Chain A
Amino acid sequence: MIDFLTLIQVLDGTLRLATPLLLVCLAGLFSERAGIFDIGLEGKLLAAAFVSAAFAAITGSVWLGLLAGILASILLSLLHGLASITLRGDQIISGVAINFLAAGLTVVIAQDLFGQGGRTPPLKSGGRFEPLNFPGSISSKEMSDAGPLMQLYSELLSGHSLLVYLALLTVPLSWFVLYKTRFGLRLRAVGENPAAVDTAGISVVGLRYGAVVIGGILCGIAGAYIATSLQANFTKDMSAGRGFIALAALIFAKWRPWYALGACLLFGFFFAVDNRFQNILMPAWALSSFLIFISLVLLSYVWKKDYLDKVVLGGLALGIAIISLMVISSVWTSGISSQVKIPVVFIQSLPYVLTVVVLAGFVGRAIPPKAGGQPYIKER
């Protein structure tokens, strides 16, 4: 069906697209493990993307851009920390506000600086993270004639931006910090029972701010990546919900670094497929049977459940069955084996649908840190 090179290219895309998710996911991990629910990851990502692209465009140096992006993200993290930790405000509202703040400010400032309707100018070579080619790898022109091992090496392993390799390194680094250091022990403790940490004489506030700043750094790198490596400039709302998808991946990964890698690669894979295959054609009978199959799975699940489950999931199953019937009827005249084009919007919505499925817990329940989302107030 698909040849090896295409597969490699999709996997290559997976790695590139999973990188920002992974960094943001780990940012959320540190934050949530310390008990701060951070729904403002999206805003930090967006803000860092803009600031890094703007700095890179103005100064011509991508490293300055990266630094600036990280600082911007840290600033927003401190704001979130101020609201959640010091002022003990609602963490969700703070996160939502930060998302809007980033969405609005980035466009307003971009318009003021560059006058291009809210985007930054395309970055030239000094302003981008160039792909790092491993020694002995071949260029893309030579790729189709090369052997599979060489293709694997050159396309999948080599040729990524520095930030991709860096992101992969943060996984074992995070694991080590969380489980093998004093800081990690205290961080995990403060997310489960801040009172235990407080009575041991350690500053709850300090730990939580620390976690939030670490998150800021990671989001900053992610933002710089999407605007200077994945793309070559900043465009309005370019984060595209990645901040939330990373949260879903985090829940899927049960707040553990190595699982987070797996979860983000999975989501990255979906993004890569969406990118690569604009027109996915499927024989009508295959598509219909697949839809009916999902329908039946849902129906069998609700068989013994209560009224509400039957209504909601049953209704969903019915809707899917109707869609499959519509697919069949649309090719009635041309025969059941003819190809049906899956609408592009459907493919594009897949990551979001997958997020919901993950959150619905049909892929296993997850127990969050006990003190998550609640401000710590000393007992009277």
Chain B
Amino acid sequence: MTMNPAIELKGISKSFGPVQANKDITIRVMPGTIHGIIGENGAGKSTLMSILYGFYRADAGEIFVDGKKISIPDSQAAIAAGIGMVFQHFKLVENFSVLENIVLGAESGALLSPSLGKARSELATLASEYELNVNPDAIIEDIGVGMQQRVEILKALYRKANILILDEPTGVLTPAEADQLFRILKRLREEGKTIILITHKLREIMDITDTVSVMRQGEMTATLGTKKTSPENLAELMVGRKVLLRVDKSPAKPENPVLEIEDLNMFDDFGVQRLKNVSLSVRAGEILGVAGVAGNGQSELLEVLGGYRKANGSVKIKGSEIDLSTGVAGDGQARRAQGIAHVPEDRQREGLIMDFMAWENSVFGYHREKSNQANRFFMDNNAIRKEAEAKLDRFDVRPLDTKLRAKNFSGGNQQKIVLAREIERDPDLLLVGQPTRGVDIGAIEFIHQQIVALRDRGKAILLISVELDEILSLSDKIAVMFDGKIMGERLPSETNEKELGLLMAGVSGEAVQ
């Protein structure tokens, strides 16, 4: 007896104007399996998922669930078909309780109390069946990220989902939490649920999926059994050519310390301590990589060093103390004058003004410098434009149009504009946060090379990234942050992912043999 695929897509296509996001996609996922979908940014994974969840309507093609053809005009239809989705950015109401979030949209009547009562008992059943324990009355903003993700999964299960789609689920989890998630997914698989995992992490695909599809530029380039492939093979399928997964670099030749941080403490606007006695140092000609799950103080560290957060403690640049007491904007320009350049974590929100043109962005942060002024009153826009063109050219920004607004460049090119601006200043210290987030593989290589080149010119670099691979391949020295503290420092050659993962989860160094 042949089993129907849990879900099958035939010839799905979708265009947005001239851009074809999905081209003739065909997949089959068998029930009780975990299927991975991997691809670069812009490959079309999100569009496909949006179609499956009813956000978009496909231009052509058919969808079959359990052998029956269905149409998914909206989310309600998707839910009715048993499709549940766990988004990368959680769709939870932060000041509601867990119970209220689960019940929202699946209430059993006009009055709330009966709905809440029913949900409570159902939740208890689900918890015991799948080991998904949560406190139903906890408020979302008070519980941790791993727990919030469980609520999202419970939401889908409460609505009787048989097919669970997870979009980049481990981005915000520690390695230990990710392991826990995978245990839950395996349990769900045992119970006959079908799971589709969308990710860009090759390692996850190898670890947990049964089958994997690769998407590239809107097309499905391959579907394989996971056991029959390898990370290198998958990377090549994603990009279409051989990809260097590690950076070629010569050993570092560090000299004098450029950045010296001692006992840095920082409290945020709500009085919560975000940095706890942080001490670090970075030498000239060295890349210090700070690893850690997002939200453990790395962003705050960058904000303090970048000059827009108050803090206590001692920070020295090339031997001289920086004044940390002012904070909340204003000192960004002073820091730049002292030779610090900053590539922020969120290029679209902080690093660039999306509506400004590329040439205007090329002096963002440096707009008051003498070299950019024509006279006492006005800026020298012509000179700035010329200089911008040269910078963008050296950094291979495409298209090479200084008058194009930043929002019209791709993610990788936007990042290159920011890097061009900061690296071309030949700073003594470069702060760099998540340099390759949302950037396609080809540009990643280029960006890594630029960072290493800067280091080889004898500059100091503080690199912050949630991607352990990036940290391991780029850094000369690694520090791990957890809960605002430095858990330990290691040399890349003397450690591994497991040890770093433990440190990232707050397990202190002494316990590790």
A and B touch in the complex (CB under 8 A): yes
Stretch in B99-107, B127-135, B236-244 with 4+ CB within 8 Å of A: B99-107
- Mask of B21-46 contacts with A, CB within 8 angstroms, 1/0: 00000000000000000000000001
Q: Considering the chains assembled together, what is the distance between the CA atoms of A195 and B109 in angstroms? A: 22
Q: Considering the chains assembled together, what is the distance between the CA atoms of A192 and B95 in angstroms? A: 8
B93: min CB distance to chain A, Å = 5
A193 touches B75 (CB 8 A): no
Q: Considering the chains assembled together, what is the distance between the CA atoms of A197 and B91 in angstroms? A: 8
Q: Which of B55, B79, B95, B107 contacts A185 (CB 8 A)?
A: B107
Q: Which of B93, B100, B105, B110 contacts A201 (CB 8 A)?
A: B105
A181 touches B94 (CB 8 A): no
A199 touches B85 (CB 8 A): yes
Contact residues of A between 190 and 216, Cβ < 8 Å to B: 192-193, 195-202
Closest residue to A191 on the B side, CB-wise?
B93
Q: Determine if A141 is an interface residue (Cβ-Cβ < 8 Å).
A: no
B61: min CB distance to chain A, Å = 19
Chain A contacts of B109 at CB under 8 A? 182
A183 touches B110 (CB 8 A): yes
Chain A contacts of B100 at CB under 8 A? 185
A378: min CB distance to chain B, Å = 6
- The contact size tier of chain B is 20 to 34
Chain B contacts of A201 at CB under 8 A? 74-76, 78-79, 105
- Mask of B216-255 contacts with A, CB within 8 angstroms, 1/0: 0000000000000000000000000000000000000000
Q: Determine if B113 is an interface residue (Cβ-Cβ < 8 Å).
A: yes
Q: Which of A181, A192, A380 contacts B46 (CB 8 A)?
A: A380
Chain B contacts of A202 at CB under 8 A? 104-105
A185 touches B46 (CB 8 A): no
User: A180 and B113 in contact (CB under 8 A), knowing A185-B104, A185-B107, A201-B75?
Assistant: yes
Chain A contacts of B89 at CB under 8 A? 195, 379
Q: Determine if B92 is an interface residue (Cβ-Cβ < 8 Å).
A: yes
Contact residues of B between 43 and 73, Cβ < 8 Å to A: 46-47, 50, 53, 55
Closest residue to B56 on the A side, CB-wise?
A378
Chain A contacts of B110 at CB under 8 A? 181-183
A33: min CB distance to chain B, Å = 12
B415: min CB distance to chain A, Å = 19
B337: min CB distance to chain A, Å = 22
Q: Considering the chains assembled together, what is the distance between the CA atoms of A183 and B112 in angstroms? A: 9
Contact residues of A between 323 and 380, Cβ < 8 Å to B: 370, 378-380
A372: min CB distance to chain B, Å = 13
Counted as pairs of residues, one from A and one from B, with CB atoms less than 8 Å apart, the total is 72
Q: Which of B76, B92, B103, B111 contacts A193 (CB 8 A)?
A: B92
Chain B contacts of A380 at CB under 8 A? 46-47, 50
B106 touches A180 (CB 8 A): no
Q: Determine if B115 is an interface residue (Cβ-Cβ < 8 Å).
A: yes
Q: Considering the chains assembled together, what is the distance between the CA atoms of A199 and B167 in angstroms? A: 14
A193 touches B55 (CB 8 A): no
A188: min CB distance to chain B, Å = 8
B104 touches A186 (CB 8 A): yes
A193 touches B91 (CB 8 A): yes
Q: Determine if B366 is an interface residue (Cβ-Cβ < 8 Å).
A: no
Q: Considering the chains assembled together, what is the distance between the CA atoms of A35 and B199 in angstroms? A: 33
Closest residue to B74 on the A side, CB-wise?
A201
- Mask of B422-443 contacts with A, CB within 8 angstroms, 1/0: 0000000000000000000000
Chain B contacts of A184 at CB under 8 A? 112
B93 touches A196 (CB 8 A): yes
Q: Determine if A10 is an interface residue (Cβ-Cβ < 8 Å).
A: no
Q: Determine if A189 is an interface residue (Cβ-Cβ < 8 Å).
A: yes
Q: Determine if B87 is an interface residue (Cβ-Cβ < 8 Å).
A: yes
Q: Considering the chains assembled together, what is the distance between the CA atoms of A314 and B91 in angstroms? A: 46
User: A192 and B94 in contact (CB under 8 A), knowing A180-B111, A199-B85, A201-B75?
Assistant: yes
Q: Considering the chains assembled together, what is the distance between the CA atoms of A222 and B95 in angstroms? A: 32
A94: min CB distance to chain B, Å = 22
B111 touches A185 (CB 8 A): no
Secondary structure dominating the interface of A: helix
Q: Considering the chains assembled together, what is the distance between the CA atoms of A185 and B47 in angstroms? A: 30
Chain B contacts of A198 at CB under 8 A? 75, 91
B112 touches A200 (CB 8 A): no
Q: Determine if B96 is an interface residue (Cβ-Cβ < 8 Å).
A: yes
User: A181 and B112 in contact (CB under 8 A), knowing A196-B104, A197-B104, A198-B75?
Assistant: yes
Q: Considering the chains assembled together, what is the distance between the CA atoms of A192 and B111 in angstroms? A: 21
B105 touches A197 (CB 8 A): yes
B105 touches A186 (CB 8 A): yes
B314: min CB distance to chain A, Å = 24
A205: min CB distance to chain B, Å = 12
B105 touches A200 (CB 8 A): yes
User: A196 and B111 in contact (CB under 8 A), knowing A186-B104, A201-B79, A380-B46?
Assistant: no
Q: Considering the chains assembled together, what is the distance between the CA atoms of A380 and B16 in angstroms? A: 11
Q: Which of B53, B87, B115 contacts A182 (CB 8 A)?
A: B115
A248: min CB distance to chain B, Å = 23
Chain B contacts of A188 at CB under 8 A? 93, 96
A178: min CB distance to chain B, Å = 10
Q: Considering the chains assembled together, what is the distance between the CA atoms of A22 and B96 in angstroms? A: 27
Q: Considering the chains assembled together, what is the distance between the CA atoms of A186 and B425 in angstroms? A: 51
Q: Considering the chains assembled together, what is the distance between the CA atoms of A197 and B75 in angstroms? A: 10
Q: Considering the chains assembled together, what is the distance between the CA atoms of A287 and B104 in angstroms? A: 56
Q: Which of A182, A195, A197, A378 contacts B111 (CB 8 A)?
A: A182
Q: Which of B46, B55, B96, B106 contacts A200 (CB 8 A)?
A: B106
Closest residue to A371 on the B side, CB-wise?
B93
B96 touches A189 (CB 8 A): yes
Q: Considering the chains assembled together, what is the distance between the CA atoms of A186 and B91 in angstroms? A: 14
Q: Considering the chains assembled together, what is the distance between the CA atoms of A185 and B76 in angstroms? A: 18
Q: Considering the chains assembled together, what is the distance between the CA atoms of A33 and B78 in angstroms? A: 28
- Most B Cβ at <10 Å: residue of A180, A195, A200, A379: A200
B103 touches A196 (CB 8 A): no
Closest residue to B53 on the A side, CB-wise?
A199
B115 touches A199 (CB 8 A): no
Q: Considering the chains assembled together, what is the distance between the CA atoms of A145 and B78 in angstroms? A: 73
Q: Considering the chains assembled together, what is the distance between the CA atoms of A195 and B79 in angstroms? A: 15
7 interchain residue pairs of minimum CB distance = A200-B105, A201-B76, A201-B75, A196-B91, A182-B107, A199-B91, A192-B93
Give B residues with C-beta under 8 Å from A: 46-47, 50, 53, 55, 74-76, 78-79, 85, 87, 89, 91-96, 100-101, 103-107, 109-113, 115, 155
Give A residues with C-beta under 8 Å from B: 179-186, 188-189, 192-193, 195-202, 370, 378-380
Contacts A185-B104, A199-B53, A201-B74 known; list 13 others, CB within 8 Å. A180-B112, A185-B103, A189-B96, A189-B104, A192-B94, A193-B91, A193-B93, A196-B93, A197-B105, A199-B87, A378-B55, A379-B55, A380-B47
Q: Enumerate 11 A-B pairs (CB-CB under 8 Å) in ascending A order.
A: A180-B112, A181-B111, A182-B111, A193-B92, A197-B104, A198-B91, A199-B75, A200-B91, A201-B79, A370-B94, A380-B46
